[in-house]
Structures are given as C-alpha cells and as structure tokens.
Amino acid sequence: MNKIFFFALFCLITFGSYAQELRCEVEILAPTFKNDPENTQVFDQLKKSVLSFMNNTKWTDDVFKEHEKIETSLLITINQKSGNAFEAKLQVTSRRPVYKTNYTSTIVNTLDGSFNFSFQINAPIIFTQGSYTNNLSSVLAYYAYYVIGMDYDTYALEGGTKYLLKAQEIANLAQSSGQIGWSSSENDGNRYWLIENYLNVQFKGMRKCAYEYHRLGLDMASADAKKGVDNITKALGYLQQVHVNKPGSASMRLFFVAKVDEIINIYSEASNENKQTAFNLVRRLDPSNIQKYQKILKKG
C-alpha cells in the first residue's frame, strides 16, 4: 500500500513539474458540412488530435506550473474537404494574465486564411524539430512557438527570441513544400513575413514596446496606476520608428488588432496630457481605427 502511494506521489510530482506550456482550447467550425454524420466524426477526431498535440507536446525546456500555462485558442473553420484534404482558416489567439488582477491581456490575435492540410482518423499528428513532415503539424507547431515567443517577450526584453527562431525555422523548412502561407513571394501577412518582420532589426521597437507595455505598464498599474499608464505611453512611443521603417506592416496591424480596445480602456482614467499623447500616437500608427480612438479624448 505504501509503495503504491509513494509511486503515485512520485508520478504526480514528476509529471506535474514538467507540465506543458499551453492551455489550448480548440473549436472546429464547418458550416457547409452541417448534418453530415460521417464528416462530423472526422471533425470531432480532428479537434481531439489538435488538442492533444498542442497541449501534450513539450515545447520548451522550462517548467510551467498549472496556473502559468499560456491561455491559447484555435478556431479552425473548414471551408472545403475532399477525401483527407482540407481547406480551412485558422484563428489563433493567446492571452497573458496581468499581475495582481483577474484581467488577461490579448497578446496574439491573428487570422491565417491559408490553412490547408491533410488529416486521417486515427493517424497521429507528428512533428519533428528540424524537418518538414506535413502541413498540419508544421502550422500548429509554428503557432505554438510563435505564441510562446510572443508571451515570453512580454516578461523580458526580447525574451522570446529562442522560440520565435524555432517558428522561423519551421517557416523556412516549409518553403519547399509548395503549401500556401509559407512563401516569401506571397502577401506580407503570411506566416513567413509574420515571423520575419518581428525578428527583423527594424522591428526592435515593437519588441521593446511588448515588454514595457506589459511588464512595466500593465503589471505595474496595480501598485501605481499613474506610473503604469506613463510607461504604456512611453512603450507605444517605440512603435513610431517601426512605423517609419515599415509603414502598414502586418506585425503592426496585428498589434493593434489585439490592443485597440485595451488601449482605449487604459486611458479612460488617465490624465488629459496622457490621453492627448496617446491619441496623437495611435491615430498615426493605427489610422484605420481612428474613430474608435476618439473615445480616448471623450472619457474621463
């Protein structure tokens, strides 16, 4: 009896100390395949396989406690299916908690419209670092590392580089696959350019912003709200040079997709000086949302 107890305790400690990094939710939408029992079974199995792959793969060498796992969501919308071949869209979002609050801040919010893959029931999703196996495992692994790297960047300056480089390696290896979404000759918002831009020296201001906005801004606000908002204003200022270097870049657009509503809420109780400074920044950096940002000046 004692041996069984200690063995169970050992397993709990051992496996708990190596808990995986992601707490990933997966949803499959297939609006054109409603009321089709055969396809419903395939989609259910696809969901289970993706969940297992994302949540049970050990992506880093770091030890994560249960409450430290990165909250991630994948929304896969199936547009077409022919045999085992799927054409789909993939929405990827991730969030990180803000220190001493119940609030979670969106870090990643990107829509990948070129998610084509093959999937067969009972066939495991296999990914091997350093090689291209298939598009399903490569796309999922790419976004796992991208989410982790972006999350780490919010806790330490350029802290996610190791994992962002892994995502870039996957993108480079997939170049010769012929699958859409990986080629440098495609649009500037695909997987290749998403990671290339963010790691490019011309985007250093964006990475500095990611760290100071979250770690010195949002995390500090619970102890000193004014200081936290001041630091967020300063962090947004780093994006100006990025805008000059690469106006209208996909990375900049995605930053504001994730942050537009949050920025408006942050400045709801800010000083008039901070409101005006922030408004002057975001109207240049994210002009497509100018009407939303007008709320900054009206609040308070």
Count how many Cα atoms sit within 13 Å of the Cα of residue 152 in the half-sphere of its side chain.
19
Alpha-carbon distance of 104 to 28, in angstroms, equals 24
Count CB neighbours of 241 within 10 A.
Answer: 15
Mean pLDDT by 10 residues, the chain (300 residues): 39 46 97 83 96 97 93 97 96 97 97 96 93 97 98 98 98 94 90 95 97 98 94 96 92 95 94 93 95 85
The torsion angle over the Cα atoms of residues 32, 48, 117 and 87, rounded to 10 degrees, is 10
What is the DSSP annotation of 89-106?
EEEEEEEEEPTTSS-EEE
Give the start-to-end residue ranges of the domains of the chain. Answer: 21-199, 206-298
What is the DSSP annotation of 169-217?
HHHHHGGGG--TT--TTS-TTSHHHHHHHHHSGGGHHHHHHHHIIIIII
Numbers of helices and strands, H then E, in the chain: 12, 4
pTM of the model: 0.92
Q: What is the pLDDT of residues 14-63, one digit of tens each?
A: 333 446 899 999 999 999 887 778 888 999 999 999 999 999 999 999 99
